[in-house]
Structure 1
Amino acid sequence: MKKAVSVIRFGLWCALAVFSGTLLIGSSAYLFLSPSLPSVDSLRDINFQTPLRIYSADNKLIAEFGEKRRTPVDFEQVPKELIDAFLAAEDDRFYSHNGVDIVGLARATVQLVSTGSIQSGGSTITMQVAKNFFLSHERVFSRKFNEILLALEIERKLSKQEIMELYLNKIYLGNRAYGIEAAAQVYYGKTIQELTLPQMAMIAGLPKAPSRYNPLVNLTRALERRDWILGRMKTLGMISEPQYTFAVNTPPTATFHGLPVELEAPYVAEMVRMEVIEKLGTAAYTDGYKVYTTINSAQQKAANLAIDKGLQAYDERHGFRGPELQLGESLEIWQQTLKNTSPIGSLEPVVVTEVHEDRAILMLRDGSPAVMDFEQMKWAKPYIDVNRQGKAPKQPSDIVAVGDLIRVRHIDGTVRLSQLPEAQAAIVAMQPKDGAITAIVGGFNFYDSKYNRVTQANRQVGSAFKPFIYTAAINKGMTAATLINDAPVVFNDDQLESHWRPQNDNQKFYGPTRLRKGLYRSRNLVSIRILQRTGIDYTLDLIEQLGMPRDKMPDNLSLSLGSAGITPMELATGYTVLANGGFRIEPYIIQHIDQLDKTIYQADPLIACRNCDETPEAETSSAQTIPAEEGFAAGFSEEGLTLESILEENPINPDGSLTTTDPKELLKSVKKAPRVMDERVNYIVYDMMKDVITEGTGRRAKALNRNDLAGKTGTTNDQRDVWFSGFNPELQATVWMGFDQPKTLGRWEYGANAALPVWIDFMKVALANKPETSLPQPDGIVTMKINPETGKPARPDETNAIFEVFRTENAPKPEFEDEETSTNDNGDFNPGDIF
């Protein structure tokens, strides 16, 4: 009996010694480690490393930049089944322990003693939060002690829901996905609310080893892990037997889903990325910034399609250059080649598998067949050079052969033969009132060439520059009815021992021509004589005032023919002055930048406001709060800005808003764009440019059935560059087409048949259901009938008289007597001014 008591007493003393030793060691570890532990309070203000995201003005995702893909979610947004899956996989006693699971730690200790190495860490979800936010992933005892101490502190200061939310947003789940929302997008292309039970279990299996259990890398192991988690969920009563049976028998559906881009605008994304990095530095990639651009998603889509269609149409006019590859007749080679060949824009790679008398059978990238009728390929005359094609094909075998790798487009249920364009095109659209860019396409394929032709390509603009030459002439006192002789002229240049014989594009001359007709017919000789009369320096001064780069302008008469090399963006900026009533604005593309739902940057554009110096029509007796910038911009109209119209169109916004009791103060707050053109001159030039659409080189645009459009075509020597730039007061768009290494597009390619159709296709969408909005006629303008041949006031009995508009002081006086019209405009001329 005494021996038994002694044994018991010894055992108790041993137990006490172990407990005391453990307590001593634990206390010592706490006293040693606790001073160096980070503050758990910082978890309440944690800023997840979130990528830079770029959106359109209507919240369509354009791009995401950053090493980590992450979309933080609130606990309330997470489905219960998904939380249960993680609990079953990682910590089923999460809601019952205080941050440290003794059972789990004991299991890990037994594994360590029995195997001599750490098999599992026994970590709870709370301990994983401590590790992920504060500690390294080094598998050493000191880190584990820190992890335990931090977990206890986290549990003391945060609720279980807060801890779970931190965990679900922080964990790495493979393929650059951090957090459950990013993982749902990467593996299934869904939000977490759209996931099925087996998909949730698959994601919940990833934290243990994201590479080992990744369904895209090791499907067998991933399925084993998924089914084990489903079994745990059944055992723990989280799901029923039927749910378990259905889930484990569900085939895996995980596939890689790239960036969930909602709007294809890579040139926009790159422009914005560069500007944001310049403003915010490289922290922009990780600090969760959201950039909202001025891009209109409908207009951007229309621009993408218009460029694609325009380049395909150009290619079809010049013939088929043959297949990209000839692969022989090996099915395996066909399949492998298609797998490795990416679609580009709307052009899908296919392999010809059969050729019949009236059709060809194709293999698509997914292995399925498609039929291409001869009707969809008979355009494909053999390409010889840019000006010549071979004989028209009579049957499919004249064009393709079995084993050819070619490109096709799907159009209205048909498959049409296509090819990768060698020419390039670009378009930029913006709002004339403030310079907000609404669409940009810098080339056919950004991923092949990141060269943005809208902002980087300096190209000769040809006749698209002529409106500025005519503007200077009207500004200096000429009128739309002034006669200029369209006749041959030769300028001698003794220095070059050569002659300059400018000609019209059709090699014809038409004699005395009114300015209006000279513009809409795009007469080169008229433009040259106008510049000669107006003066080169005077014209360059005005062009500089319009916001165009003077340093790129030639200081000679070739300026009148558009020999200046400028970018489409610079040309478009000049055209906005013509469109908005005569104000110089500055293009911009970033509307605002947000971080954690707080706006840290807001655009403050110059606004073209014709009535900002007038007193508002509506008065108010009490203070009103309205948005300080966007409200003003939206309130401008032809009728004038009124406080009532602003309040009606813009809800009161207390953030960043303006409060005033004086409606006049509203107008003063506008950041007004400077007026750089007399509004009467602007009105006359706009009226003349409308005739380019109704009677001149832009007649194709009459298909839009609008009376408020104005614009100008442009074609350079040898058809190296073709343009169309056009507008109404609400929208301006400029289109360019050419080769990156300048060479002729072909002898029959002009702005009217190459660039203008692209502009029309874009404007058809951009202006759909928009009311016509012409510039209002300002004071100081008179309209009178003139003789179209002489430009003088018409006699009362003349039947061919037409109406013309003039500035009051420049209107011709009625003189009903014959007068000889002078067309001698040569004057004193220095041949050195030519070049």
Structure 2
Amino acid sequence: MSKTATSKSPDKPRRKFSLGRFLMKTAVLCAGLGVAVALLVGLALALAWPNLPELHAMTDYRPRVPLRVYTADNVLIGEFGEERRNVLRIDEIPDVMKSAVLAAEDDNFYHHGGIDWRGVARAGLTNMLSMSKSQGASTITMQVARNFYLSSDKTYSRKFYELLLTFKIEANLTKDQILELYMNQIYLGHRSYGFAAAARTYFGKPLSEITTAEAAMLAGIPKAPSRINPIANLARATTRQHYVLNRMRQLGYITEAEYQTAMAQPIELRSMQGSRSGGYAVHGEYVAELARQLLFDIYQDDLYGRGLNVYTTVTSQEQEQAYRALRNGVLDYTRRSRYPGPEAQLDLPEGLEDNATAFDEFLDGVIEQYPDSDDLLTGVVLSASPTEIRVARNAAEIHTITDKKTLAIVARALSSTAKPEEQLRRGSVVHLHKNGDGWEVINMPAVQAAFVALSPDDGAIRAMVGGFDFDRGKFNRVTQAWRQPGSVFKPFIYAAALERGLTPGTQVSDQPFTLTAAQTGSRPWNPKNYGGGYEDMLTMRTGLYKSKNMVSIRILQAITPAYAQEYIARFGFDPARHPAVLPMALGAGAVTPLQLASAYSVFANGGYRVEPYLIQRVTDSEGKILMRANPAVAGDVQARVIDPRTAYVMDDLLRGVATSGTAARARAALHRNDVGGKTGTTNESHDAWFAGYTPHLTGIAWMGFDNPRSLGSRETGGGVAMPIWVSFMSQALKGKPESRLSKPDGLIFENGDIYFAEFPPGQSIASVGLPTPDTLGEFLMNLPTAEGEAIPIHADTNQPSMSNDELGQLLNRLERNN
């Protein structure tokens, strides 16, 4: 038997590894992927590019610009609109601001094509590692694209559209155009859009005046406008500011010396300076608000986005002087009044001030709850005794008060016997005021005041302050508060008497009288002179100089209240608010300060009634005039309302009041001979007035409580209102030459007296005495009704705006341009 042999089949040869083939396959694969990606990108571009928005919003940039209100000398005093914005051209933006923005946001802006590829790669890697989309690498162009057209959602689709739009913007706009759009459009917190608006919001100044330190702080805000703005969080904003300054130094935008100077500069925010009303250079809040009211009826809600510019008649210097004069007058009165105690009493733990951070947080909350009022700054008492008060504004600002005169203002509250709610002690919330070289504790005034200055030449309002603090209430007492005028109304009764044959030399009885209830048919009436003194017979001139009530009553009785009621309408008074009864002689009706200013201007300008007006012109955002005032002026025949002789004699009388009468301190303070004026104090000192003028400027000052109550038994118009008027006029009239009314025809001057030609000596009324039995019946008919001798008309502090009729009176000189 033979063996069968089996043999192993040979192995197949192994294919050797070929690097070339591998590379070829890889290349083919990559090429295929590249083609696929290119096709996908091309398809995406083909679908997305036609849907990209047009760039009209950028090439024809017209953002919603707020209504802006200016003084006559072009100083901004107010803005109204949802967005604060001030559009600037690129060449109007300071270099330091542009440098700060480039350092903070995109230092390679002028060299890339819209995308910073290194930044994109860095952000992409960071997002992959963190499995999120939290990191971005937005250039300025990308931010412009997003701000104009896209949302801020961090999605890949939105990012794709952003990239495409970025390329489109770069292809159609220059770099300067893109940067200009960014600088004007970016949101920077507190309703501020653009760096010009932010400069005013945070620092209260135009962008052209900011420092390097301030520019760096603004440039740091876009990263997180709500959290890194200096009002919301100064510490975070400062940290970001330091980063920007360091980048500016590294990039060579600023020198080492400039860097050190900027790092050392303290940041003074508008809010730190005590102003909560806009940070404007001039306090014209009441002016701006009234201008807004006047135009709202014309433009409605469209008023706030058209970029209208309103130029008012007030001048910046006079407006600011009026504001300061009123504030100082109110504070002077407040110092004389009883200190009511602190704003609040808080629990201030011992030693809290040793922890600066915790203490500052505590004080920030207090100031937010009890805000500053311009130069009245909120603070918390650390310790208080009859010889020393320590008050903190923040951990680094603690004021110690030891001056005896200053401590006397709050002496009652420092007594150990003071009521708990009135006592000053640790934790008391108070207001500080810088008075001269030192500080004082003073309460937030409860009293109010108003001041208005008017040009008698054409009625232009030169200055207007409607209250102590606009932020605590927009009620404008110049235009809305109807108050009893008291003795400032007497000149209008005297003017009516001149045209009925009385003269400045007419003798009038100053003796008191009482009418019984049986005589009046209601209740007794017993008018009195202020101070209780009486004389026998006085000339009408002397009666006005001394503001004698009995003289005024008898003059009104002589000419009849019905005639006087009709006559006063010539000055712009509403007869319905001045019932034809004898208390009209004492100013028992109702007027507004603006109405009174217009009325006194008739004496100042020689007998012409000029309607007050506030708006000089209105322009659109391009400067085209839409409306312009066309006021009647003194000298127009149609504007004459009283005999020029009456105006001349009344001017003579009122200048006498300012020389020898109750207003003598006004002339003495101003050292002028062309000043006329009259004080006024109503019953129980509810209202205190001073009305005064020169031939080219009329001013009215008022002080009182919104809910009428006594200012104090010793407080008068000469004591509280006149100082406001004098303070304003001392600056407004500085350097102005004196002037006088021209002497009109038809007057006779004899023995120091003045007569109308038709009422010469011997034919004019020589005297006015006590009522005789023949005139008693008429006299009784003119007595007040059973409701009382005064006509109580109180200020309505809830009134939101002027009535349509009153608005119309201020608008009636404003004409539209066709």
Q: Is the 8 A contact 2:246 2:259 kept in 1?
A: no
**Matched letter for residue 388 of structure 2:** A
* Aligned amino acid, residue 182 of structure 2: Y
Q: Is 2:311 aligned against 1:292? A: yes
Give the whole-Å Cα distance in 1 for the aligned partners of 2:746 and 2:326: 42
| Alignment counterpart, residue 731 of structure 2, candidates 756, 765, 768 | 765
Aligned counterpart, 1:593 = 618
State whether structure 2 residue 753 is matched by structure 1 residue 809. no
Quote the residue 2:671 is aligned against: 705
Cα pair distance change 1:192/1:332, threshold 3 Å: farther
Give distance in 1, aligned partners of 2:267 and 2:335: 41
Query: Can you list the C-alpha shifts for 1:465-498, whole angstroms capped at 9, x where unaligned?
Result: 1111111122233332333333344456668432
CA–CA distance in structure 1, aligned partners of residues 124 and 441 of structure 2: 68
Once the two structures are TM-superposed, the CA of residue 451 in structure 1 deviates from its matched residue by: 2.6
Contact 2:545–2:657 at 8 Å: present in 1 too? yes
CA contact (8 A) 2:505 2:766 kept: no
Find the partner of 1:72 among 87, 90, 93. 87
Match of 2:299 in 1: 280
518-527 vs 183-192, greater mean Cα deviation: 183-192
Give 1:677 deviation, angstroms.
1.2
Which residue of 2 is the match for residue 463 of structure 1? 487
Of the structure 1 ranges 106-115 and 771-780, higher mean CA displacement relative to structure 2 is found in 106-115
| Pair 1:187–1:823, CA change in 2 (3 A) | closer
Mapping of 1:11-30 within 5 angstroms?
17-18=32-33, 20-30=35-45
The one-letter code of the counterpart of 1:292 is: Y
**One-letter amino acid of the structure 2 residue matched with residue 607 of structure 1:** A
Alignment partner, residue 447 of structure 1: 471
Asked if 1:553 is matched to 2:572, the reply is no
Are the structure 2 counterparts of residues 163 and 533 from structure 1 closer, same or farther at C-alpha, using a change threshold of 3 Å?
Answer: same
Distance 1:29 1:354, change over 3 A: closer
Deviation at 1:561, TM superposition (A): 1.6
Output the CA distance in 2 between the equivalents of 1:460 and 1:590: 28
Equivalent residue in structure 1 for 2:681, among 715, 721, 735: 715
Post-superposition offset of 1:554: 1.2
Q: How does 1:34-45 map to 2 (within 5 A)?
A: 34-45=49-60
**CA distance in structure 1 between the aligned counterparts of 2:113 and 2:766, rounded to whole angstroms:** 105
Identity over aligned pairs, percent: 36
Which string of whole-angstrom CA distances, capped at 9 and with x for unpartnered residues, describes residues 630-674 of structure 1? xxxxxxxxxxxxxxxxxxxxxxxxxxxxxxxxxxxxxxxxxxx62
Residue 184 (structure 2) aligned to one of 169, 173, 178:
169
Number of residue equivalences:
741
Is 2:67 the partner of 1:49?
A: no
SS at match of 2:463: strand
- Say if 1:94 and 1:124, in contact at 8 Å, map to a contact too: yes
Residue aligning to 2:803: none
Structure 2 match to 1:572: 597
For 2:356, the equivalent position in structure 1 comes to: none
Give the match for residue 710 of structure 2: 744
Quickly say closer, same or farther: Cα 1:225–1:17, change in 2 above 3 A.
farther
Letter in 2 for 1:514: T
Q: 1:368 aligns with which of 385, 388, 398?
A: 398
Q: 504-513 or 534-543: which moved more?
A: 504-513
SS of the equivalent of 1:500 reads coil
Structure-2 separation of matches of 1:91 and 1:346: 41
Query: Deviation at 1:767?
Result: 1.7
Could you tell me how far 1:804 is from its partner in structure 2? 1.7
**Paired residues of 1:724 and 1:735 also in contact (CA < 8 A):** yes
Equivalence map 1:276-675=2 (5 Å): 276-322=295-341, 332=351, 336=362, 340=367, 341-348=370-377, 359-366=387-394, 367-378=397-408, 407=431, 409-416=433-440, 418-491=442-515, 496-610=521-635, 674-675=639-640
Residue of structure 1 in register with 2:152 after alignment: 137
Q: 1:553: Cα distance to partner?
A: 1.6
CA distance, structure 2, for counterparts of residue 347 and residue 92 of structure 1: 44
User: Helix, strand or coil for the counterpart of 1:484?
Assistant: strand
| TM, length-normalised to structure 1 | 0.77
Contact 1:572 1:734 in 2 (8 A): yes
Q: What amino acid does structure 2 have at the position aligned with 1:372?
A: T
C-alpha displacement of 1:253: 5.5
SS at match of 2:390: strand
2:693 to 727, 737, 750: 727
**Contact 2:617-2:629 at 8 Å conserved across structures:** no
Determine helix, strand or coil for the equivalent of 1:565.
coil
CA–CA distance in structure 2, aligned partners of residues 245 and 761 of structure 1: 43
Deviation at 1:102, TM superposition (A): 5.7
CA deviations on 1:590-629 (whole Å, 9 max, x unpaired) are 333344350444441423332x57xxxxxxxxxxxxxxxx
1:695 is aligned to 660
Cα distance in 2, alignment partners of residues 56 and 284 from structure 1: 19
Return the alpha-carbon distance in structure 2 between the equivalents of residues 417 and 221 of structure 1. Answer: 33
- Structure 1 residues 407-459: Cα deviation after superposition (integer angstroms, max 9, x where no partner): 55433324456443333222221111122222222233333333322222211
Deviation at 1:805, TM superposition (A): 2.0
How far apart are the structure 2 equivalents of 1:225 and 1:404?
35
Q: Which amino acid aligns with 2:566?
A: D
Counterpart for residue 5 of structure 2: none
> Residue type of the partner of 1:695?
S
Bigger mean CA deviation after superposition, 125-134 or 66-75: 66-75
Q: CA 1:93–1:822 in structure 2 vs 1: closer, same or farther (change >3 Å)? A: closer
How far did residue 16 of structure 1 move? 5.7
3-state DSSP of counterpart to 1:131: helix
Render the CA deviation track for 1:383-427: whole Å, top value 9, x for unaligned. Answer: 9xxxxxx99x9xxxx997777665554333244564433332222
Other structure's SS at 1:499 match: coil
Tell me how far apart the structure 1 counterparts of residues 240 and 768 of structure 2 sit (CA, whole Å): 94
Counterpart of 1:152, as a letter, is F
User: Which secondary structure does the structure 2 equivalent of 1:476 belong to?
Assistant: coil
Q: Contact 2:689/2:722 (CA < 8 Å) preserved in 1? A: yes
Residue equivalent to 1:261: 280
Using the TM superposition, give the Cα deviation of residue 66 of structure 1 relative to its aligned residue in structure 2, in angstroms: 3.7
1:754 corresponds, among 720, 739, 744, to 720
CA-CA distance at 1:728 after TM superposition = 1.2
Q: Counterpart of 1:95 in structure 2: which amino acid?
A: Y
Conservation of the 8 A alpha-carbon contact between 1:230 and 1:244: no
Q: Distance in 1 between matches of 2:28 and 2:210?
A: 56
- Residues in 1 aligned to 2:153 and 2:98: alpha-carbon distance in whole angstroms: 27
The answer as to 2:744 corresponding to 1:778 is yes
Aligned pair in 2 of structure 1 residues 402, 210: CA closer, same or farther (>3 Å)?
A: closer
1:245-275 Cα distance to aligned partner (Å, 9 max, x none) = 9679947956754443212233333323333
Q: 2:456 & 2:167 partners in 1: Cα distance?
A: 61
- The residue number in structure 1 matching 2:647 is 682
TM-score normalised by structure 2 residue count: 0.79
* Distance in 1 between residues matched to 2:538 and 2:702, nearest whole Å: 29
**CA RMSD, 1 decimal:** 4.1
> Partners in 2 of 1:148 and 1:822 — Cα distance?
93
**For the structure 1 residues 571 and 251, does the alpha-carbon distance in structure 2 shift closer, same or farther, using more than 3 Å as the test?**
closer
Q: Is the 8 A contact 1:428 1:572 kept in 2?
A: yes
Give the match's secondary structure for 1:689: helix
Contact 1:435 1:605 (8 Å CA) reproduced:
no
Checking the alignment, whether the CA contact within 8 Å between 1:71 and 1:179 is kept in structure 2 is yes
Residues 207-251 of structure 1: per-residue CA shift (max 9 Å, x gap): 34434655666778767766776777677x5459x8499679947
Q: Shift in Å at residue 725 of structure 1? A: 0.9
Distance in 1, Cα, partners of 2:556 & 2:258: 85
Judged with a 3 Å threshold, the aligned counterparts in structure 2 of structure 1 residues 82 and 354 are, in CA distance, closer, same or farther, namely: closer
Q: Which amino acid aligns with 1:308?
A: R
* Alpha-carbon distance, 1:51 to partner: 3.7
The answer to whether the Cα contact below 8 Å between 1:372 and 1:414 also exists between their aligned partners in 2 is no
The alpha carbon displacement at 1:562 in A equals 1.0
